[in-house]
Structure 1
Amino acid sequence: MKEGNEYRTWKGPGEKEEEVKNILTKLDGLMPSITFTHINTTTSAKNSKATVLNHKDSYCVGDHLMVRLDLYDHLGKKKEYGGDFIRARIYSSSLKAGASGHIKDYSNGTYLVNFTLFWEGDARVSLLLIHSSEAVSALWAARKKGYAKIAFTGTFLNGKSTVFTQCGFNITTKAELCEYLDERDQEGFYCVKPKNVSCKAFIALKSYNSATSYLTDLERSLVKRSNIGVEIPHTFGDIRVVPCESNKTMSSERCRFRINSPFPSGFALQNQWHPVFCNMANLNTLDQIHTSLKGKIVYLFGDSTIRQWMEYLTRTVRTFKYLDSHGVGAQRNLIAVDMDRNIQIQWKKHNHPLITAYEYQTRDHNYIAREIDNIAGDKNTAVVIAVGQHFRPFPIELFIQRAINIRKAIQRLLLRSPDTRVIIKGENIRELDIDQERFSDFHGYTQDLAARDVFEDLDVGFVDAWDMTIAYTTPNVHPPSHVIGNQINMFLNYIS
């Protein structure tokens, strides 16, 4: 505990801080930096145009559909710079099919979208302007300005009564603070010390959106719901796709570990996910799931998007039985076992930040890196990690630092147990009507780029949930069961 003015997670320069700075520099190089004085000079989806460059009456499966985007502002003037955050997707409702498009930004208001035509039948194009380049510039600048968008309330036990106090990553105060530090990994969290109460009596935490905003009123107008996810108009209708013998869209190679999968990494057809870089078996029957998991212990670390995996498995595989983990609330740690097949699955939430208005216990909190350090590991051990959603409202350094700490723990695990299977699950896209300054998918996208940088040299599997949830067009932080089932199917392919 210390008294003073300002307490930060970073405790000094070092190799990790240098890596964080390098990744930030790369991200800065991708971001527009724009000053504007009126919304009329910002990108207008409705005034923009989409044109097919290689129009045909029909295309072969495996062909590419090339679409040029020319973006204009609200006054009808062609944009002279890039940086717009666009979501491109090709889909077929009748075939329950979808895939992302690859977007190239020419930095002059023109973009080229490359769609691979993965399936036979009809296909339609969706082009959404999620954020104008001006909004991207504002969101990126605002994210760097501080930690105050989310406020935390800590609960301390004082005898048989409870007292509440302010907590957070960065507290400016002259009051005495309780410091909860991991010196090795340079992680820190702080609470204003309640009078006459021990710092060791910290038992619970919850959060809420504060009144703080780092956007101006004009910038906030760019991220209101009516300006988010607006369709860029086009006049071309259904794309007709027919089979051709010479074209191939999928690999015959068995799914192997790699973090930097291509984009798009796959496509959905009849609601089944097909990666383009490997041949994924469909392991979705009860017997196949049992066979894949028999004798294994699976650790699921992270947020509620990976807790969904556990909930899906225990709902689908009725032989799993939950053990009493003696926690309370939705964030309690979960353990389920199948005694006959010697299967154990655990879910544990990641440590600060956990953003929820519902109070949760901190006594069973731990950093994922520390949890990984406690795993012995062997060929029947699998570790799945999913972090990101709860980091979006904070400066991205916090996320990058956490990812580096997790990477180092994975490296230690694989040194003592090379046969342990480690899988990174990417972020899901989420709702468009949520507070964009705090939770925009733009923040998730930057974290996805950073995570690929941090984990790229590891021998780990990667479930590209970002690409999957775009392809399935599920703008919900908790996607429906068929999407979760396909994420788990890919995981089972990695560990089988």
Structure 2
Amino acid sequence: MTTCTSKELRFIFGTVAVLLFCVLSLTNIQSSYLVERNANFLLQFKPAKTRKDTVSNFTAISLKPEQRLCALCEHVDTIHRFKMTSLKFSRLETIKYDTEGTIVVAIETYDMKNNSKTVGDDVIVIWASQADGDGLVSGHVIDHKNGSYTGTVKVFWTGFTKVNVKLASSLENTCLRLKALKKYGNTVFAMKESWGIKGTFRTNLVREVTNCGANQKIFGFRDVCNFTSLNGGMSWFCGKPKHPKLLCSDIDSFGTGRIDNSMVGQSERIQNNGHGIFNQYLLLDIQNYRTEKRNYSCSLRPPLLSWKESEPSGFWLDGHWNFVNCYSSIKHDITPYRQCLKNKNVVIIGDSTLRQYAEYFIKEILGLGPVDMKDAKGPNRQYHDYKLFKSSGINLMYIKHEMPFHNPNFPVKSISSVPEILRTMEDNDLEDNSLILIINYNSHFSAYPPSKFRERIRYLAVAIERFLSRKPRTKIFFKGPHLCIDDTRWFDARISLLYKQIIQEELSKLMNNVIYLDNWSITVAHNNEQLHPDGDAFFSHINQLMAYIC
């Protein structure tokens, strides 16, 4: 688990600079919305209140992003919950909007007692929606670290446009998760009701269930069983059974269930929803917008550029997902998708959000009807179900990644890690120019130390590099994290953004060979909070993927 030494903390927080920050604004907004017309009007600015800007000297030393977050949380007040950002009292003001469709918004946060906040580090997102159409686009938010934020959105339409701001993750709730992780070895102990993965041990006469995790610290157990070798070489541990007649070798299955957190104090638990849409929004009349010429077909674009996108990478308009910096060469419909994938071998390896992709492909593109792969297992109670789906000249297989994988009950037999699966595929006789790989790791790791997620991505990077040395023409995609919020589980938007940083760092040498799927922009634009997006949000995922393939 990533920990911060006292020496690092003294160095990081020892230097505090006091800066003056002016927020440019047109006027204070008293109502729940603001209607402004004539985007060509040159707004006259006046300086807003000045506030102390507390800046920690994070850039002075080289720390990994998970270490910086750990250090930050050491000094965050998680006891006085009224200091959390209020959706009711926090305010928006339009700074400007111009003839190119760019909207700039000042975001001022206030706490539950309507006091102006003087610290930042909440995750705040912004998006715009077309009032008389289906247009949706996410924006970019700059955190000034003093309670003030600046949001920028570029729209791709004219007419009345609604701008919303959401608190996607409060710093206090993130820090409660990390404090629980440090004390109990798992972030779920910060939940009102803890829920996680457990191991079932059994013989003919005795049965016992213990808690499991990707890290060796299993709260309540002095001794643990190391099941890393069962897990395809990736770290996995369970509490050792306390019954004298049960051994580690008596492990029968891994499954999800309630975890006792009765020992956790109320001050250690997440009680306030640290997320939601600000009560106030803006309504603007956009007269003009401008788009840059898109010279590349997305399918022919160098993979590196998919990693270098600024926010947003795309937008929803006219019933499909559009790209800012490339164009789709395919009409987004089933028949063109089917033609594009003919004679292709599609292998999808990852979690349940990629299982969604597989189920859509099987039902719609392969035309085989609905299929539920959630509880799929192999013959003789094997962990993986290597079932091949074939139709219309397309071959498709979905393989779930190794533990941790939250599901009611999975056998422990024949678990292969993603690196092991890739090594097996190196030696098959499939032509690499027919092969499409879609891979991810994400939400199942959020309950455990970020260092464990980094470890998995690092192993994956080595495996992909080796795979490409054998099958260099394979088209490989990595599905990035999306906005998912659930304070009753372990999903946290800040952790998702942290994972995005880790993925970019650990896969940096592969950016010329692997295409990054930016699902963050999609889910912010669609105001999605679900683990499994549906409707237009999900179709945007599919549109993005198919534009890169075809």
Band the TM-score falls in, shorter-chain normalisation: 0.7 to 0.9
Unaligned runs of 5+ in 2: 3-61, 189-194
Q: How high is the sequence identity, in percent, across the aligned residues? A: 21
Asked if the contact 1:146–1:394 (Cα under 8 Å) also holds between the matched residues in 2, the reply is no
User: Are 2:460 and 1:406 equivalent residues in the alignment?
Assistant: yes
The structure-2 alpha-carbon separation of the partners of 1:178 and 1:101, relative to structure 1 and needing over 3 Å to count, comes to closer
Asked if the contact 1:32–1:133 (Cα under 8 Å) also holds between the matched residues in 2, the reply is no
The structure-2 alpha-carbon separation of the partners of 1:70 and 1:128, relative to structure 1 and needing over 3 Å to count, comes to same
- Cα deviation for residue 47 of structure 1 reads 2.0
- Cα deviation for residue 174 of structure 1 reads 5.5
Asked if the contact 1:283–1:489 (Cα under 8 Å) also holds between the matched residues in 2, the reply is no
Residue number in structure 2 paired with 1:52: 94
The structure-2 alpha-carbon separation of the partners of 1:334 and 1:370, relative to structure 1 and needing over 3 Å to count, comes to closer
Query: Residue by residue, what CA displacement relative to the aligned partner does 1:78-114 show, whole Å, maximum 9, x if unpaired?
Result: 2222112212111125422211120111111111101
RMSD of the TM alignment (CA)?
3.4
Q: Distance in 1 between matches of 2:70 and 2:224?
A: 36
**Residue 542 of structure 2: SS of its match in structure 1?**
helix
Which of 294, 297, 313 does residue 345 from structure 2 map onto? 297
Residue number in structure 2 paired with 1:445: 497
Asked if the contact 2:197–2:257 (Cα under 8 Å) also holds between the matched residues in 1, the reply is yes
Residue number in structure 2 paired with 1:252: 295
Q: Distance in 2 between matches of 1:415 and 1:463?
A: 22
Q: Distance in 2 between matches of 1:34 and 1:130?
A: 18
Within 5 A, what are the aligned runs for 1:477-492? Answer: 477-492=531-546
- Give the letter aligned to residue 291 of structure 2: K
Residue number in structure 1 paired with 2:57: none
Within 5 A, what are the aligned runs for 1:296-335? Answer: 296-320=344-368, 326=378, 333=385, 335=387
- Give the letter aligned to residue 308 of structure 1: Q
Residue number in structure 2 paired with 1:210: 259
User: Are 2:86 and 1:34 equivalent residues in the alignment?
Assistant: no
- Give the letter aligned to residue 500 of structure 2: D
The structure-2 alpha-carbon separation of the partners of 1:219 and 1:353, relative to structure 1 and needing over 3 Å to count, comes to same
Which of 394, 399, 422 does residue 372 from structure 1 map onto? 422
Query: Residue by residue, what CA displacement relative to the aligned partner does 1:285-342 show, whole Å, maximum 9, x if unpaired?
Result: 333222221222111111110000111111113544889974599x86363433551x
Query: Residue by residue, what CA displacement relative to the aligned partner does 1:220-248 show, whole Å, maximum 9, x if unpaired?
Result: 46x533x53141524x42x223445xx21
User: Are 2:399 and 1:352 equivalent residues in the alignment?
Assistant: no
- Give the letter aligned to residue 224 of structure 1: N
**Residue 256 of structure 2: SS of its match in structure 1?**
strand
Which has the higher mean CA deviation after the structures are superposed, 277-286 or 389-398? 277-286
User: Are 2:539 and 1:475 equivalent residues in the alignment?
Assistant: no
**Residue 88 of structure 2: SS of its match in structure 1?**
strand
**Residue 103 of structure 2: SS of its match in structure 1?**
strand
- Cα deviation for residue 469 of structure 1 reads 1.2
- Give the letter aligned to residue 289 of structure 1: Y
Residue number in structure 1 paired with 2:276: 229
Which of 140, 155, 168 does residue 212 from structure 2 map onto? 168
The structure-2 alpha-carbon separation of the partners of 1:495 and 1:443, relative to structure 1 and needing over 3 Å to count, comes to same
**Residue 389 of structure 2: SS of its match in structure 1?**
strand
Residue number in structure 1 paired with 2:157: 119
Q: Distance in 2 between matches of 1:281 and 1:77?
A: 51
**Residue 439 of structure 1: SS of its match in structure 2?**
coil
Residue number in structure 1 paired with 2:51: none
**Residue 496 of structure 2: SS of its match in structure 1?**
helix
Which has the higher mean CA deviation after the structures are superposed, 249-258 or 422-431? 249-258
Residue number in structure 2 paired with 1:435: 488
Aligned pair count reads 463
Q: Distance in 2 between matches of 1:42 and 1:224?
A: 9
Query: Residue by residue, what CA displacement relative to the aligned partner does 1:425-452 show, whole Å, maximum 9, x if unpaired?
Result: 12232354x415x222332222222222
- Give the letter aligned to residue 154 of structure 1: G
Give the alignment's TM-score, normalised by structure 1: 0.82
Unaligned runs of 5+ in 1: 1-7, 10-19
Query: Residue by residue, what CA displacement relative to the aligned partner does 1:33-75 show, whole Å, maximum 9, x if unpaired?
Result: 32265333333232222110115xxx54x42101001222233
